[in-house]
Structure 1
Amino acid sequence: MKNSTAIAIGGFDGMHIGHQQLFKEMGENGTIVVIETGYANLTPKKERENFSNFSILYLNLENIRHLDGEGFVSLLQSKFPKLKKIVVGYDFHFGKHRKYSFDDLKILFSGEVKVVDEVTLKGDSVHSHKIRAKIQIGDIKGANNFLGHNYTIRGHHITGQGIGKKELVATINIETEGFLVPKEGVYVSLTRIDDEEHYHPSVSFIGHRVTTDGSFAIESHILDGEVVCDTKASISFISFIRDNKKFDSIQELKQAIKKDINIALNKLKILAL
């Protein structure tokens, strides 16, 4: 990082296609500077590192929010002594009470300041808060289009209710922390087990098990064979299949799961073409 000549500054929750435009402006010798607000839930904490090859420096907002413009630029120059270029978005503000904008940055910093215009997709501006809204209503396709990658949550493996393997289908159950959990329902997904490099085709359920014990679950059924999960799993969401629903019997639930599996298999087959 000390040798970086360019940096891109922002919150960068989601590492979406708008953020990627900023990263492209840095050139090869760049570092991403994340201002960590504590509100990131699309790519919480160091999850951002899964979506960029650039090194990342994290600055906690609480530790720098008191700085004036000169103090902020001095901090950046102390972290990056060879700094020649700063890349920010059109809505970037910094300093105490967010008083300073990119216009002030151009005055305070002697090098180049590149301001990236608003990024749009099919006429709609790309923002993290819009991605969150899409995920919360189950519009996974829309969220993924804005992200430029599949929305993914990660968690620790936990023991399920035990009904699945005996009476329904075997699932891998996870407990996640810090991630925005999608709307309750059933999804076409890809699931990565432990430290495997590849993802398995899967059907995932999020929600309260209203037909059985009523408990909340995040669980994934692997479609290409039974696998054993030791400690952790990642679920990447492809598309929404249906809402969570209470069935009158285990048999009805079983039939619905069969339909979900067929839908997922067809969807994933199409994606593979």
Structure 2
Amino acid sequence: MPSVAVHTAVAPLPPGTALAIGAFDGLHLGHQALVEQARRKGTAAGLLTFDPHPAEILAPERAPPRLATAGQRIRLLERFGVAHLVLLPFDRTLAALTPEAFVERVLLDGLRPRAVIVGASFRFGRGRSGGPKDLSRLCARGDVEVVVVDEVPPPPECGGGFLSSTEIRRRLAAGDVAGAACLLGRPHAVEGVVERGAGRGRALGVPTANVGSIENVLPAPGIYAGALAVLAPERVGPMPAAISLGRNPTFTDPGAPLVLEVHVLDRDLDLYGARVEVSFVERLRDELAFDDVAALLRRIEDDVARTRRIVTPSVLANVLAP
């Protein structure tokens, strides 16, 4: 699979590059439609986005948690056939540029794409004052084609609503990981590092990896069927896994911190210190407090059996893997 060239400076891209522009948080199905247009319009497809997310600078108190980490975004772009990723450092100086100055400095004199692809709701320039029509008018000065992609509706099987990063976050917050996956085109996944826990899972015969230092948004607490992949120090997986995101109410007080514990099916791996990715495929149930360990183990056995039925090889083939 070809690698993505990452650019952090505004400099000419290879001739013929078509450039999709946007925030691209999560790279959901709507974003993928823009990427597909870039692949069609250019000899190479590029993506221009901003780092950090503009909301983190302009309204940090309202900035949403990210759906995808930087590493996940790179791997997704490789999957989608994108050759160039332009990470434009976003600060108040960039935010203050007028639409005219943005197009002239960043696009016409800077990156020099063959074509630019944006969504119908795209806004740019100081105070979000520019839109697709302004972009088309300004890019015409440099003979750069602008393609505006209409809003992509969610697939019928996704249960209505809107196809947006906000809607995906809403579904995750409700524990609807299957609904979020429908809009993403893949199961939602988080990255983190395996830390030492209390060791209860191993003592009960169900070893788990406690995952901390998580960089992107988690779903609602609960028990899930999913997968675990090892990203570093060496890449392994993905592997079917039963996932617990909660506070271990059978053993701890209600105010205990939230813990992500992952039991990889049929494997007993030494993962301490490893960087891993946990994919959420389907919600199994709420987290429960059990009267005794025997009742807990019976329910875990059922969770594992259901996970085995749900996370098939075809499901694993669609998760965001190393």
The one of 123, 126, 150 aligned to 2:163: 126
Structure 1 unaligned spans of 5+: none
Measure, in 2, the Cα distance between the counterparts of 1:9 and 1:40.
Answer: 20
Which residues in structure 2 correspond to 1:19-168 (within 5 Å)? Answer: 19-27=31-39, 28-35=43-50, 36-37=53-54, 38=56, 39=64, 41-53=66-78, 54=82, 55-62=84-91, 63-74=93-104, 75-81=106-112, 83-110=113-140, 111-120=144-153, 121-122=155-156, 124-168=161-205
Measure, in 2, the Cα distance between the counterparts of 1:268 and 1:97.
Answer: 46
Cα displacement string for residues 7-32 of structure 1 (whole angstroms, at most 9, x for unaligned residues):
10001001011000000111241210
State the TM-score, normalizing by the size of structure 2.
0.79
Pairing 1:234–2:277 present: yes
Q: How far did 1:217 drift?
A: 0.8
The one of 297, 305, 318 aligned to 1:254: 297
3-state DSSP of counterpart to 2:269: coil
Measure, in 1, the Cα distance between the counterparts of 2:69 and 2:275.
Answer: 17
Cα displacement string for residues 11-57 of structure 1 (whole angstroms, at most 9, x for unaligned residues):
10010110000001112412101123244510134431121122211
Structure 2 unaligned spans of 5+: 1-6, 8-12, 57-63, 317-322
Which position in structure 1 is the counterpart of 2:28?
16
Name the Cα RMSD after superposition: 1.9
3-state DSSP of counterpart to 2:311: helix
Cα displacement string for residues 39-86 of structure 1 (whole angstroms, at most 9, x for unaligned residues):
4510134431121122211123324110001111122234313x1211
State the TM-score, normalizing by the size of structure 1.
0.93
| Alignment check: 8 A CA contact 1:187 1:205 kept | yes
| Alignment check: 8 A CA contact 2:22 2:48 kept | yes
Aligned-residue sequence identity (percent) comes to: 27
Cα displacement string for residues 119-140 of structure 1 (whole angstroms, at most 9, x for unaligned residues):
1122543111000111111111
| Alignment check: 8 A CA contact 2:190 2:215 kept | no
The one of 215, 231, 235 aligned to 1:196: 235
Letter in structure 2 aligned against 1:22: L
Distance 1:78 1:177, change over 3 A: farther
| Alignment check: 8 A CA contact 2:209 2:263 kept | yes
Which position in structure 1 is the counterpart of 2:246?
207
Measure, in 2, the Cα distance between the counterparts of 1:6 and 1:238.
Answer: 34
Measure, in 2, the Cα distance between the counterparts of 1:257 and 1:19.
Answer: 38
3-state DSSP of counterpart to 1:32: strand
| Structure with higher strand content | 1
